[in-house]
Homo-oligomer: A and B are copies of this chain.
Amino acid sequence: MIEISAALELIARHVRPLAAESIPLERAVGRVLAAAIASEVDSPPHDKSLMDGFAVRAADTATTGVDLEVIETVLAGQIARKTLRPGTACRVMTGAPIPPGADAVVMLEQTTVMTQSAEEARVRVDVAVGPGKHIMRRGESMRAGEIVLPAGTVIRPYHLGVLAEVGAATVRVTQRPSVAILATGDELVAVEQRPGPAQIRNSNGPLLAAQARRIASDVRDLGIARDDYQSLRERIAVGLESDLLILTGGVSAGLADLVPRVLLDCGVRQVFHKVSIKPGKPIWFGIVDRGSASTQKLIFGLPGNPVSTLVCFEVFVVGACQVLAGQPSPVRSHSYGILLRDHAVRGDRPTYWPVRLIWQTSGQTGVEPLPWRGSSDLRCLADADALAFFPSRETPYSVGEIVPLLTLAEY
């Protein structure tokens, strides 16, 4: 049995990052940038008006109530043809380029239009404005060549605006693995079946498939394998067509726990088996490595209890996918919260415990440990927002102590 940190180091050492691929911008959400995105434009591309109003020479407005000749109207998307001389103004709309000669904008609401005809208009300016007022300078938001998003960024929906602005119609991202999922166990029946005596439904398959869609190019649910050598061997052979095979069950020390043996017989090399983590101790990890990222296979044998499966997925499988995506470390980043209740955990292994988060008006994340009955108590997850991490120690945890949190993905 090894420590969590040692297991993650072994993952870092044995997993090779996947290659990059180019994809259209509209499919980029959730993907990891393989190369930095630099702007190829200044933004804004010209000095621009931030208001509907009149571009003026600031000096002209020193006299309150000055009367200016309106020489032109410039809308967004247009370019001024005339240069502002003293005593003149140019009507501009929000986003319009500032005409040459102008150095400030007066809001429409602070002016009075005196006459208006096809040929002539005059405007009275009711306030004094300083140079630069209501103008955004060319390149003030972003300069051509500037890095907008560094390599390694996970692309969020709200990033798509800036990516569009800099013309990133396609983006270079790390490939994602194809994933196969195989539940094992004689006690399992499919979700749509009614369990007979001593049977339960296969909850790990749908749980893992939903989790895997976050990280996979493609998810194959291979259903249920029985606890016999031949059934397992056939299904595992199919699973090894994918880049990442996740099994649940059959990795413990029981009589029916054949998974490690069958994996070895299928040519998978064991990297580790058993980690000091609760729940999830029996986790098994192995690889098939023929020397390149495109031929490598990762195989996780997760314990069959569903909460163990979830914890191992979050800590180890997502960690391995961080390495596949080119990130330097498989260690997940944790946030922190404050315990709202005393909490005792058995001190023998570091424990991830399902918790509810309650936002405090103190700006703290309140952590309420759920009444969880152990690794097979899946019901508890219905109420959970996160897993709180309790390092192994003898003394109970008290209200007010700070604990690291692994937030559970919402999509």
Contacts and interface: CB of A to CB of B under 8 A. Distances in A.
Contacts of A26: 206, 209-210, 221
A363 interface: yes
Contacts of A305: 94-95
A59 interface: no
B203 A78 contact: no
Contact of A162 (B154, B378, B411): B378
- The complex is assembled from copies of this chain, and their number is 2
A116 to B, nearest CB: 12
Contacts of A50: 374, 376
Identify which of A26, A164, A165 gathers the most chain B CB atoms within 10 Å of its CB: A164
A291 interface: no
A13 interface: no
B192 A169 contact: yes
Contacts of A198: 45-46, 76-79, 96-97
A117 to B, nearest CB: 16
A82 to B, nearest CB: 15
Contacts of A140: 373, 377
Given A75-B256, A402-B362, A141 B379 contact: yes
A65 B135 CA distance: 88
Given A45-B198, A164-B201, A382-B162, A214 B79 contact: no
Contacts of A335: 359, 365
Nearest to A357: B335
Nearest to A256: B75
